[in-house]
Structure 1
Amino acid sequence: MTYYICEQKLRLQFVNIKTQSTLNLIASSTYLRSSYGESKTVLSCGVSANGKYMSFHIKDQQNGTEELVVFSTEKKTSKILNISQENLPDIYDSRTVGRIFWDSSEERVLGLEVKYHTGEEENSFLLLVIVPVLADIYIQDAIRMDPLRSLCGLCLPSYAVLIDTNQSLDVIAVTLPDFGELEEEQTSVSVFIDFSVNLHECNFDKAFKTLRGIRSHSVWRKLARFSILSRRVEAAYMCASYLGMVHAIWSADLETTTEAKLIVLALHLDMIEEAIEMSKNYNNKFWLLKLYELTNQWDKAIEFCKATNAIEKNIIYNKYAKFLEANGEVKAALQHYEAAGCAELEIARLFKRFPDETRNYCAISTDRSIQRWYAKHAESQGDYALAMEFYKKCEDIVSLCRSLCYRNEVVLACDFARKSKNKAACYFMGRHFEVNEADYEKACQYYCEAGAFSTAVRLCKENQLDKVIYLVALQANPQDQLVAAAYLESRPSSSTVNAAKLYAKAGYILKALELANLAEDTSDVIESILENIPRNLDKEIALEIANEMVQREQWQSAVQLYAIGGEVETAVSLAKIHHLRLCSSTLELFNIKEDISNNGNTVILEKIAELCMDSGLYSEAAQKYNQSGNKTLAIKALEKLGDVEKVIIYASAARDVEVYVSAANYLQSENWKLNKRYEKTIISFYAKAKAYDHLALFHISTAQAYAEDEEDFLKALSYSKDAAKAIRKFSNLSSCKETIDKKIKTIQSFCQKKRSSEEISELLEVLSQIEATISRL
C-alpha cells in the first residue's frame, strides 16, 4: 500500500500492516522515501476514527530527529511536530516507541505511547498531542504510565490500557490527571480542548468565551490548574475569580513578577509539587524555601541554602529548630539553634521545658555561647566549681574574675587577668581595686594594662597620686598627657619638672621650656625635654626655641631645632663653628633638595658632607657628596669607610674618569695579590679611564711581584709585555719604553737559560738512572 503526502513529495510504503476494529493502524518494517532518495523510518502510524487524519511517527536515520506528521485526507495537507525539540522529560534515550491512538470522540486529540529504559528499570509515558484545525500541533501533556501496561485506546477523559496477568488479558480505563473530575461531563472535555487551543494561540478573549456555559466548580478548578501549568497568568486569574479565591488573587497581586504570581496561585490550588518545580525553573529562591518549609522538607531547604550560600540560611535553621522543638526532639533542636546562632537566646526557655535534655546537651557542647550560659546558670545555682570549669572552657575571663572576686579569691582573679592579658578582665580588676579595695595604685596598674589611661589619670587626680600620674601619663596619648601635665603644674614645685616633661612629650615645647626655667636644675630639665623633640614641630616654634638654645649655648639642641625649622644652612654653620659631631638622627633632619643646578644647595650639601667626614659618618658623607655632584669626594669618603665592595659598586655606577682612577688606586692599597677579582677590577678601571700610565705602572709592579716573590718569571714576562703595550700608547714616554723593552729582553734570556739548565739537569738525571741500571745487570 502506498500513500503520497503532497507538499513534502514523500511516498510511504508499508511492508507489514496490522489493522484494529477501530481502524487504528499499527505498521512495522515501514519505510518513507522522498523523491530525493532520502530514507526515513516510520516507527508507528495511526488513522483517526472518522478517517479525516492519518498520523505518522517518523525518525530520520541520518540526523536522529523525530517528527510527528499528521496528514489531512480531505485537504491533502500535513502538519509536522518536531518531538525531539519539545521541552519534555528525558524519554528519548534507549526508547521503544509504542503506538499512536486517535481519540474516539474528540478528533483533535491523539496519544503517543513511548517506553524507555533507565538502567534496568523500564518506564512508560503517554504523550497527549493536540491537533488544532487551523493552528500548529503541540503537546498538551506527558503522563507517566505503568510500564506493565500497554496503551490500547483513547477516549477523553480516559485512556484504555491492556494488562497481561499471564492468565488473562484485561482492559481497564484510566482517567487522565487533567480530566480527573470530568468523567460525567463530555461537553466539558470539548470545552477544555477549545480552551487549551485558544490559550496556546494566545487568543484569550476567545478562550474565555468558551467558558461561559461552564458551571461546574471542578471544571473551573481544572482549568485554573491548566492555566498555571501553561504559564497563562491572565487565564489563571479568571479561573480563580470564578472560584471565589479572593485571598489567592490578593496574595498574587502582592508579587511583582509573573512567575511569582503563578507560584502563589498554584499554592492556593494545592499544587504543591508543581509550585516547587516552577520555583526551581524560575530560580525563585524565596518561594522555593517557603514551599520547602510548608511541606516540612527541611533537609532540602538546608541543602539548598548551603549550595547557594543563601542569606536565609540562619532563618531556615531557626525555623527547623522550632519545628523539631515542637516535636520534642530537643537535642536536634538545640543543634539547629546553635547553627542559626541564636542558641544563647533560646536555651533558657528550652531548659525550663526540658531540663534534663538541655543539661546533657550543654555538658557536651563546644559552642561558647552555650558554655557561657551554662556557666552563669551553674553560678546562679551556687555550683561555683562547675561555673569555673565552663568559664574557662568558653574563655570568659571577665566572668571568671567577677566570680572569684565575689568569693574573695582576689589573688587568683588577678593571676587569671594578668596571664590572659584580657583588657576587659584587667579593667574589671582595676574597678574592683578602686571601688571595693580602695587600693588606687593597684587599680591604676590594672587600668594601664587594660589601656584605660584616661581612667587611670582621673583616679590619680582624684586621689593626688602625683608620682603615679606621671608614670601613667608617659604611656598615654597626648590629650591625657596634657591633662596630667596641667594637674602637676598646679601641684607643689616638686612636680614642676614632671609637668614640663609631659608638656614636651605632648608636643608643647614652649610651655615645657617655660616651666623648665622655674626648676632648680634647669639645664638637666631642658636637656631631657629636648631629647625627644618631635620632627613635626611647628617651624616657627622650632626657630624660637633654637634661638633660646643659642643663648643658653646648648649648640647640639640648637642645631637640631634649626634643622627642624627649615634653617639648614644656619644649622650647618653653627655645627661647623662649634665643631659638633653629628649623629644619624640629626643628619636625617637636614633635608636639602637634590638640585645640582642650584649652587646654594650644592654648597650646603658639601658642608654637610664635610661635617659627616669630621663626625666619622663616611657613608653619609659619600651620599651627600654624590647629591652635590662631587663624585670624586664621594669615592674618597667611601675609601675612608674602608668598604671595598661599596667602592667598586660606586665606581662602576659613576662612570667618571677620576672616580675610576681613585678607586683603582685604592684597590692597590688592599691585598689585591690574594684576590684575583681585585686585580681584574684594577685593570678594568684603569682601562675605562684610559689611564695607561697608571695601568703600565700596575703591570710593572705586578711583574716585579711575580718575579721576586714567587719567582714565576713567565708571568712576570707576560705582565711586562702588557706594560709595554700600555706604554706604547704614549708618544712622550720613549725612555720608559726602552727601559721596559730591556727588562723584557733580560727576563726572556733568563728564562731561556733557566729552561736550558733545567733540561741539562733532567738529562744528567736520566743518564745516572741508566748507569745505575747497567751496573745492576
Structure 2
Amino acid sequence: MLPWPGPYGTDETVWENMARMCVKTQRLDVAKVCLGNMGHARGARALREAEREPELEARVAMLAIQLGMLEEAEQLYKKCKRYDLLNKLYQASDQWQRAVEVAELHDRVHLRTTYYNYAKHLEASADCGLALSYTKHENAQTAGLQASCTVLRYPDMAPGREAKWNSSFFHSYEKSDTHRFEVPRMLSEDLQSLELYINRMKDKTAGRAMPSSLQENGLDDQLMNLALLSSPEDMIEAARYYEEKGEQMDRAVMLYHKAGHFSKALELAFTTQQFAALQLIAEDLDEKSDPALLARCSDFCIEHRQFEKAVELLLAAKKYHEALQLCLEQNMTITEEMAEKMTVSKDSKDLSEESRRELLEQIANCCMRQGNYHLATKKYTQAGNKLKAMRALLKSGDTEKIVFFAGVSRQKELYIMAANYLQSLDWRKEPEIMKNIISFYTKGRALDLLAGFYDACAQVEIDEYQNYDKAHGALTEAYKCLSKAKAKSPLDQETKLAQLQSKMTLVKRFIQARRTYTEDPKESVRQCELLLEEPDLDSTIRIGDVYGFLVEHHVQMEEYQMAYKYLEEMRKRLPSANISYYVDQRTVDTVHQGLGLPLSRTIPERVRHNSMEDHKDVYEEVMEEVENDS
C-alpha cells in the first residue's frame, strides 16, 4: 500500500514524489490522481493514450517519460520487448545512434523510418554528408521482396498504419506466382520466418508444391529447412527424396526420426552406419516404443560399448533379466534409480509373482556383491526375504537401522540376529545397546542366549569393575533364563546350570566374607582362605582380589610377615600380574618397611571405573515391555 499524503501533504513536490513511486510500484491508478493534483495535463493525457498498449510495462514507461525518468522507461520497454516504443524514445531524446541500433537489431519494420528521421535530423544539423548516407540506407529498404520478408520476420512489431501498408504490399506481392519460390529461397536461413510464411500460406496446394520446386532447383539446404518446419508427411516425402538421391543420408535419417517413423530411421541408420543418429534415436525411445526396436537399439549400444544406454533400453523393453545380466557381465554399478526401474510392481502382468521375487533377489544379490547393503536390504525386503535383508543390514554395520528393522519385523530370527550383532559392539559402555540385547533375546525367546549374555555381564562386572554384588545379580538372572529355556540337549542344560550354580555360590561366599569382616574378621579371613583352596576359583573370582583382601587385613593387624606371605603366594599364582592391580602400592610399601625389605618399584595404580547398569533392573524393564507387546 502506497503512503497517502495527509492534510498537510498537499505540496506539488509531494505529489510528484508519489508519482515517481508509482513507476516503481506500477500503480497507474494512483499515478492518475498524482498527475491530477500536480496539474500535469500533458502527462495525464499521455497516460490515457498509453492505455491502448497491451503491456503494463509499456504504460508505466509512458508515465516514467512524463516524469523525466528516462532510464526507468528504457528498462521497462526492454523488459516488455517493445523495441518500437524504445526506438521512439531514443529518437525523442536525441539518442540517434542507439535508435538506429535498436531498429537494425529489433525493430526492422521501422528501420526505413528511423534512417529517414535520422537523415532529417542530420540535415537540420548541417551534416549533409552523413545525412546523404542514411538517405541511401533508407532508399535501400524499398525493395519489394525484402519488404515482404521484413513483415514476415517481424509481424507483431508493426503497429498502426505501417502494418496496414506492409500488409497491403505483401498482399499485392503474393498475387504473383514467383513468391512461392523466391520467398522460401530468401528465408532459407531464417527458419522462424520461413515457418511463419508457411503458416500464412492459404493455398495449401501451393504449399505442398513448394518442396517439389526446391527439389527441382537442387536447393537441398533450403528443402531441409522447409521440411523440418512442415508436417510429418512432408518430412517423410523429403526424407525419401534424400534417400533416393543417395546423398546426405544423415538428413534422411533425421527426417524419418523427426516424423516419428522410428523403424525406417533405424533401418536406414543401421544400413548407412549412422552411429550418431542411432544414438539420438535411441535416446528418444521409451517403454511406449516397439519392443523389437528397443531390443535392436540395445544390441547396437552393446556392440558399441554403450552399456548404460543398453541397460536403459532393455528395461524400457521390459527385459529385466537381460538388463540385470548385462550389469553383471560388465560389472556395472546398479544405482538406486536403475534398481527401481528393474523392480516390477506386484500387480504387473509382465512377470509372475514367483519370477518377480526371484528377480528382486537377484538384484539384491548383485547389490550385495557391490557393497550397496542398504539397497540390497530394500530389495530383499520387497522380495519378502527378511532374513537376507537383515544379513545385508548386518553387513552395513548401520546399528540404528538394524535395531529399527528388527523392531518392525517382529520375527524371532531377526531379533536373535540383531542381538548377536549388538553383542559385538562395545555394549559395556552403552547402556542402550545392552538394553536392546536383553530385549531382543527376550522377544526372540532365546533364553539360552540371554543366559549366556548375563554370564558375560557378570564376568565383566568382576574383571572390569570388581563389583561382585552386581555380578551375583547377573549370574542369578542367567540361571533363571537358562532354567526356563527349551534346550535341545537336557544334559547340556543341566551341566550349564550346575556351572552357573557353582559360580553363584563362590561369588556369594566372597561377598559374605567381605560383608562380615567388621563383625567377625577372623571368620572372614577363614572364609577367604577356604576360597583359595577351591580348584575352579580363578574361572569365577579374581584370585588377586582374595589375596588383596587378606593382605589388607594383616597389614591392619600389623602382621607383616603374614601379609608378606600372601603377597609371595599371589606372585607365584599370578606371575605375570601386576601386584598393584590388586593391592594398593602404599600397602605393599608398608609391608616391606615393616620387615625391613627394600621398597619395590612404584607402578601407577589401575584406574577403576564405575560399574555397569543394574542388570536386574534392565531385565525387569524389558520383561514389562515384552508383556505389553504380547
What's the TM-score bracket when you normalise by the shorter of the two chains?
A: 0.3 to 0.5
Going by fraction, where is helix more abundant, 1 or 2?
2
Give the TM-score normalised by the residue count of structure 1.
Answer: 0.38
Going by fraction, where is strand more abundant, 1 or 2?
1
Give the TM-score normalised by the residue count of structure 2.
Answer: 0.46
Larger radius of gyration: 1
